C-alpha cells in the first residue's frame, strides 16, 4: 500500500469518526440514544432502493459546486458565491425549458444544460473581471451577487414565468433530466441523469487541472501570482478564467436541481443550500476530484439518512452538527497529524 | 415629506444596528490577522441565546430584559468564537475553513437546542419584551431634527454608533489597539517587540464573538421577535461586506453598515414613497447590492486588508 495515500486518507477518515463520535455525545447528553439515532440514519440512507437513489441524487449537484469551489480556490480565490451562481444556472435552465417546451428532447436538454452553465460562468466571471481589472474583493462582490440573483429569481417566478404564483409549472419531459431507468431501479427516487454530468465533470476537471497547461497556470497563479506574472502568465486572464470555470460548474449544479430534482423554480428565502454545502464538500475532499466524489456521497448519506431520524424521535439537525464537526477536524488536521505522530512514536518506543 | 424621512431614518436605524455591531466585531478580528467568515454563525448563536434568555426572564426583568439579553447573546458569541480562536491560532486551521464550520454548525446546533427546549418545535415562542421605540428626553423636542432622529427611534442603533466611535478610539488610540494592529500587520515584528501575538489574536477573535453575538441578539429582539432558522439570513455576510467596504476602520464599517441598513429598509418601505410606488419591488431589493459593487469599483478600488491576515503565526522557539 502506498504510504503517502494512506497518510492522506488518515485525516479525513479520522475526522469522520470524530465527527460521528461528537454527534453521539451530543445525542447522549440530550437524552437520545445514539445507536438508535445512527441506525435510523443508516436505514434512512440505505434501507430501501429509493433512499439510495436519493443519496446519489443529493450528491450529484454537490460534486459540481464543490468542484467549482476547488477550481477557484486553487487559483487563489475564495468563491463564496457558489450558491448564487447555482441559482443563476437554475433560473436560466427553467427559463429556457419554459420558453421552448416543444423542441426535441436532445436539443432542448443540451440548450438548457449549456445555457445554465454559461449563466453561472458569466455570473461568476463578473466577480473575476472586477477583481482582475479593479482589484475589487471577490468576496464582497460574490456575496452581493448572491442577493441580486436571489431577488431577481423570485421576481422572475412571480412576474415573468407565472402570474403571481410562488412556483413555476413543471417543465416538460423534453427538458427533464430524469431517466426512467434510474428511477425504476431506485424505487421511484428523484435520481436523474445529472449523476452522469457530475461524474463527467470530475474526470474533465481532473484532466484540466493536472494535465493541461491551463490547469498548470491556474495552480501557479494560485501559489504565487507575482512569480507567475514574471514567467509570462497573465494573472488577470487566469483570474477571470478560474472564476468562469468555477461559476459554470456551480451553474451546472443549479441545472441539476432545476431539470433533475425539482423540475421547476420557486420563490426562495435564501440562496440554494448546495452552494455552502458544496464549499464544505470541497474542504472535506481536500479539493481533490476523487475526494470530492467520496465526500459528496458522505454528505448524501448524512443528509438523506438524517431525514429519517425524527422517526426515531431525534431532531435531524444533529446531522448538521456532525457535518460541521467533521469539517472542523479536517480544518484542524494539524492536531490530528500531531496525534498520529505521537501515537507512532509511542508505539515505536514500545517495540524497543 | 417629513413623515417619510422619519420612517426612512427610523427603519434604517433598526436594520443597521445588528450590522454595525457585527461589522465592528469583524474589524477587531481581522485587525488581529484572523479572518472571520463565521460572523453569520456567531449572530445565529447570539440571536438564539438572547431569544431564549428573553423568553425565560421577561417576567422577572421586565423592561430591562432585552438589554440583559444582549449581554447573554454577546457572551454566547464569545464562547462560540473561542473555537475559532483555538482552531486558527493554536490548531493551525485554515481561517476560512474554521469560519465556514461556525456557519455550518450554528444553525444546526441552535435549531437542535430550540427543539429540545420547545417541545420539538423548530422555532421559539414570540418574545414579549422587545426593543420598542425610544425617544431621547429633551432632544426629541428639537424641531424637525428631533422628529427625525430622536423621537420614536431605535435605542440599540445609537448604542451601536457609540460603540463604533469607541472601537475607533480603542483600535487607533490605545496601546491595546496598536498591538492588535501590529499583530495583524507583522506578527514577527510584534513578537520581537515582546507582544504576545497569540494573546492578541485571541482578544481580537473573542471581541468579534462578543460584538457579533450582540448583533444577533439585537436583530432577534428588534426585527423578528422569535428565533427560527430564518432569523439570520445573510446579515453576517453583509456585515462582513460592510467591514471590508469600510476598509477595516470602525467608523467606515459603521457608515457602510448604515448604508446597508438604509438599503434593506428601502426594500421594505420603497413602495410607500410617493411617485415611486410603481417601481417594481425587485429594483428596490436589488439596488443596494448592485450599488455596493458599483461604489466599490468606482470609488474604493482595492481594499487593503491587514497584511498578515489569514496566515497562521507559528512562534519559533
Whole-complex ipTM: 0.85
Q: In terms of CA atoms, which chain B residue is nearest residue A338?
A: B91
Between the alpha carbon of residue A139 and those of residues A128, A150, B24, B110, the distances in Å are 10, 17, 18, 26
This prediction has a pTM of: 0.88
Confidence (pLDDT) at A350:
56
What's the mean pLDDT in A42-70? 95
CB A222 within 8 A of CB A44: no
φ/ψ region of A255 (left if φ > 0, alpha if ψ in -120 to 50, else beta) reads alpha
CB distance A144–B290 less than 8 Å? Answer: yes
Look at residue A144 and tell me if it is in a domain. Answer: yes
Look at residue A351 and tell me if it is in a domain. Answer: no
CB distance B286–A148 less than 8 Å? Answer: yes
- Looking at mean pLDDT, say which of A316-320, A342-346, B59-63 comes out highest: A316-320
* Class of residue A348 by CB neighbours under 10 A (exposed 0-12, middle 13-18, buried 19+): exposed
pLDDT category of residue A92 using cuts at 50, 70 and 90: very high
> Given a cut of 60, is residue A352 above it in pLDDT?
no
Range of the domain at A126: 61-269
Burial of A253-290, coded b for 16+ CB within 10 Å and e otherwise, reads bbbbbbbbbbbbbebbebbbbbbbbbbbbbbbbbbbbe
Q: In terms of CA atoms, which chain B residue is nearest residue A321?
A: B105
User: Chain B interface, mutation test: which of A140, A146, A322, A323, most B Cβ atoms within 10 Å?
Assistant: A140
* Class of residue B93 by CB neighbours under 10 A (exposed 0-12, middle 13-18, buried 19+): buried
Q: Of A31-45, A102-116, A198-212, B279-293, which range is least confident?
A: B279-293
Q: Is A25 on the interface with B (CB under 8 A)?
A: no
Confidence (pLDDT) at A1:
46
> Given a cut of 80, is residue A335 above it in pLDDT?
no
CB-nearest partner of B301 from A26, A135, A159 = A135
Percent of chain B with pLDDT over 90: 47
What's the mean pLDDT in B237-250? 89
* Class of residue A83 by CB neighbours under 10 A (exposed 0-12, middle 13-18, buried 19+): buried
Q: What is the distance in angstroms between the Cα of B47 and the nearest Cα belonging to chain A?
A: 18
Q: What is the distance in angstroms between the Cα of A335 and the nearest Cα belonging to chain B?
A: 6
Pairs of CB atoms within 8 A across A/B? 143
- Looking at mean pLDDT, say which of A296-305, B3-12, B270-279 comes out highest: A296-305
Look at residue A28 and tell me if it is in a domain. Answer: no
Q: In terms of CA atoms, which chain B residue is nearest residue A158?
A: B282
Look at residue A315 and tell me if it is in a domain. Answer: no
Confidence (pLDDT) at A349:
63
> Given a cut of 80, is residue A105 above it in pLDDT?
yes
* Domains in chain B with CATH codes: 2-299 (1.10.3470)
pLDDT digits (tens, 9 = 90+) for B62-121: 888 899 999 999 999 999 999 999 999 988 888 888 888 899 899 999 999 999 999 888
What's the mean pLDDT in B224-238? 89
- How far apart CA B171 and CA B177 sit, in angstroms, is 4
CB-nearest partner of B104 from A280, A333, A334 = A280
- How far apart CA A129 and CA A145 sit, in angstroms, is 13
Taken in order A225, A226, A230, A235, the sign of the CA dihedral is positive
- How far apart CA A47 and CA A305 sit, in angstroms, is 9
Residue that wins the pLDDT comparison between B245 and B221 = B221
pLDDT digits (tens, 9 = 90+) for B14-69: 999 999 999 999 999 999 999 898 999 999 999 999 999 999 998 888 888 899 99
> Given a cut of 80, is residue B270 above it in pLDDT?
no
Confidence (pLDDT) at A2:
56
Which positions in chain B touch A307 (Cβ < 8 Å)?
none
> Given a cut of 60, is residue B221 above it in pLDDT?
yes
> Given a cut of 80, is residue B268 above it in pLDDT?
no
pLDDT digits (tens, 9 = 90+) for B104-150: 899 999 999 999 999 888 899 998 888 877 778 777 778 777 777 88
Q: Of B180-189, B239-248, B305-314, which range is least confident?
A: B305-314
**Which 185-214 residues of chain A touch chain B by CB within 8 A?**
none
CA end-to-end span of chain A, whole Å?
A: 25
> Given a cut of 90, is residue A226 above it in pLDDT?
no
Which positions in chain A touch B293 (Cβ < 8 Å)?
130, 136, 140-141, 144-145
CA end-to-end span of chain B, whole Å?
A: 67
Provide the number of structural domains found in chain A. Answer: 1
> Given a cut of 90, is residue A77 above it in pLDDT?
no
CB distance B105–A324 less than 8 Å? Answer: yes
CB B78 within 8 A of CB B213: yes
Helix, strand, or coil (residue A266): strand
Q: What is the distance in angstroms between the Cα of B60 and the nearest Cα belonging to chain A?
A: 28
- How far apart CA A307 and CA A34 sit, in angstroms, is 15
Q: In terms of CA atoms, which chain B residue is nearest residue A143?
A: B237
What's the mean pLDDT in A292-300? 95
CB B41 within 8 A of CB B107: yes
Look at residue A145 and tell me if it is in a domain. Answer: yes
Q: What is the distance in angstroms between the Cα of A254 and the nearest Cα belonging to chain B?
A: 20
CB B227 within 8 A of CB B114: yes
DSSP characters over A142-208: HHHHHHHHHHHHHHIIIIIISSS-SBPPPPPGGG--B-HHHHHHTTT---BTHHHHHHHHHHHHHHH
pLDDT category of residue B300 using cuts at 50, 70 and 90: low
Look at residue A110 and tell me if it is in a domain. Answer: yes
- For chain B, the average pLDDT equals 88
What's the mean pLDDT in B261-267? 82
pLDDT digits (tens, 9 = 90+) for A108-127: 999 999 999 999 999 999 99
B153 DSSP β-pair partners: B134
- For chain A, the average pLDDT equals 90
Look at residue A148 and tell me if it is in a domain. Answer: yes
* Residue B201 CA to its chain's centroid (Å): 19
Confidence (pLDDT) at A262:
95
CB-nearest partner of A269 from B233, B237, B290 = B233
Q: What is the distance in angstroms between the Cα of A125 and the nearest Cα belonging to chain B?
A: 14
Confidence (pLDDT) at B34:
93
> Given a cut of 90, is residue A198 above it in pLDDT?
yes
CB-nearest partner of A152 from B233, B286, B292 = B286
What's the mean pLDDT in A72-83? 90
Q: In terms of CA atoms, which chain A residue is nearest residue B286?
A: A148
Percent of chain A with pLDDT over 90: 66
- How far apart CA B209 and CA B201 sit, in angstroms, is 12
Look at residue A253 and tell me if it is in a domain. Answer: yes
φ/ψ region of A76 (left if φ > 0, alpha if ψ in -120 to 50, else beta) reads left
What's the mean pLDDT in B245-271? 87
What's the mean pLDDT in B216-234? 90
> Given a cut of 50, is residue A23 above it in pLDDT?
yes
Amino acid at each position: 500500500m502506498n504510504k503517502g495515500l494512506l497518510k492522506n486518507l488518515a485525516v479525513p477518515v479520522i475526522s469522520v469518526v470524530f465527527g460521528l463520535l461528537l454527534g453521539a455525545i451530543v445525542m447522549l447528553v440530550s437524552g437520545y440514544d445514539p445507536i438508535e439515532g445512527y441506525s435510523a440514519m443508516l436505514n434512512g440512507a440505505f434501507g430501501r432502493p429509493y433512499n439510495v437513489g436519493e443519496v446519489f441524487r443529493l450528491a450529484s449537484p454537490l460534486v459540481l459546486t464543490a468542484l467549482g469551489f476547488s477550481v477557484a480556490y486553487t487559483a487563489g480565490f475564495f468563491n463564496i458565491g457558489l450558491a448564487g451562481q447555482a441559482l443563476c444556472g437554475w433560473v436560466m435552465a427553467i427559463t429556457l425549458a419554459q420558453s421552448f417546451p416543444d423542441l426535441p428532447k436532445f436539443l432542448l436538454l443540451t440548450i438548457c444544460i449549456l445555457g445554465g452553465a454559461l449563466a453561472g460562468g458569466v455570473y461568476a466571471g463578473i466577480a473575476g473581471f472586477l477583481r482582475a481589472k479593479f482589484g475589487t474583493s471577490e468576496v464582497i462582490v460574490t456575496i452581493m451577487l448572491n442577493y441580486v440573483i436571489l431577488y431577481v429569481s423570485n421576481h422572475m417566478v412571480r412576474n415573468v414565468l407565472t402570474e403571481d404564483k410562488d412556483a413555476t409549472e413543471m417543465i416538460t419531459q423534453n427538458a427533464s433530466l430524469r431517466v426512467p431507468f434510474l428511477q425504476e431501479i431506485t424505487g421511484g427516487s428523484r435520481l436523474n441523469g445529472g449523476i452522469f454530468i457530475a461524474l463527467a465533470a470530475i474526470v474533465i476537471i481532473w484532466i484540466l487541472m493536472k494535465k493541461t497547461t491551463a490547469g498548470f497556470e491556474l495552480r501557479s497563479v494560485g501559489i504565487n501570482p507575482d512569480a507567475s506574472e514574471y514567467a509570462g502568465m497573465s494573472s488577470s486572464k487566469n483570474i477571470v478564467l478560474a472564476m468562469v470555470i468555477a461559476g459554470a460548474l456551480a451553474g451546472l449544479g443549479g441545472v441539476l436541481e432545476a431539470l433533475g430534482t425539482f423540475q421547476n423554480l420557486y420563490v426562495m428565502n435564501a440562496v440554494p443550500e448546495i452552494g455552502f454545502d458544496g464549499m464544505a464538500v470541497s474542504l472535506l475532499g481536500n479539493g481533490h476530484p476523487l475526494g470530492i466524489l467520496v465526500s459528496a456521497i458522505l454528505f448524501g448519506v448524512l443528509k438523506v439518512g438524517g431525514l429519517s431520524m425524527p422517526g426515531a424521535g431525534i431532531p435531524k439537525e444533529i446531522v448538521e452538527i456532525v457535518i460541521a464537526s467533521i469539517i472542523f477536524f479536517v480544518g484542524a488536521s494539524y492536531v490530528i497529524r500531531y496525534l498520529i505522530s505521537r501515537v507512532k512514536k509511542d508505539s515505536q518506543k514500545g517495540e524497543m | 415629506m417629513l413623515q417619510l424621512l422619519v420612517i426612512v431614518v427610523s427603519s434604517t436605524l433598526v436594520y443597521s444596528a445588528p450590522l454595525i455591531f457585527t461589522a465592528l466585531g469583524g474589524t477587531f478580528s481581522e485587525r488581529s490577522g484572523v479572518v472571520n467568515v463565521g460572523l453569520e454563525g456567531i449572530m445565529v448563536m447570539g440571536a438564539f441565546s438572547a431569544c431564549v434568555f428573553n423568553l425565560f426572564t421577561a417576567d422577572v426583568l421586565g423592561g430591562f430584559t432585552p438589554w440583559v439579553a444582549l449581554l447573554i447573546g454577546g457572551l454566547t458569541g464569545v464562547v462560540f468564537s473561542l473555537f475559532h480562536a483555538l482552531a486558527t491560532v493554536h490548531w493551525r486551521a485554515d481561517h476560512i475553513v474554521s469560519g465556514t464550520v461556525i456557519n455550518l454548525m450554528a444553525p444546526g446546533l441552535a435549531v437542535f437546542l430550540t427543539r429540545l427546549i420547545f417541545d420539538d418545535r423548530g422555532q421559539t415562542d414570540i418574545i414579549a419584551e422587545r426593543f420598542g421605540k425610544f425617544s431621547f428626553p429633551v432632544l426629541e423636542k428639537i424641531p424637525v431634527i428631533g422628529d427625525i432622529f430622536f423621537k420614536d427611534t431605535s435605542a440599540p442603533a445609537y448604542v451601536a454608533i457609540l460603540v463604533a466611535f469607541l472601537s475607533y478610539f480603542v483600535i487607533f488610540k490605545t496601546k491595546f489597539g496598536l498591538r492588535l494592529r501590529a499583530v495583524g500587520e507583522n506578527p514577527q515584528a510584534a513578537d520581537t517587540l515582546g507582544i504576545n501575538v497569540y494573546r492578541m489574536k485571541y482578544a481580537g477573535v473573542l471581541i468579534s464573538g462578543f460584538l457579533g453575538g450582540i448583533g444577533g441578539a439585537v436583530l432577534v429582539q428588534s426585527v423578528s421577535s422569535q428565533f427560527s432558522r430564518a432569523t439570520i439570513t445573510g446579515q453576517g455576510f453583509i456585515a462582513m461586506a460592510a467591514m471590508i467596504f469600510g476598509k477595516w476602520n470602525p467608523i467606515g464599517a459603521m457608515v457602510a453598515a448604515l448604508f446597508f441598513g438604509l438599503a434593506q429598509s428601502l426594500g421594505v418601505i420603497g413602495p410607500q414613497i410617493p411617485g415611486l410606488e410603481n417601481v417594481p419591488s425587485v429594483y428596490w431589493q436589488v439596488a443596494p447590492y448592485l450599488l455596493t459593487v458599483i461604489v466599490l469599483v468606482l470609488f474604493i478600488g482595492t481594499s487593503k486588508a491587514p497584511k498578515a491576515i489569514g496566515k497562521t503565526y507559528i512562534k519559533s522557539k
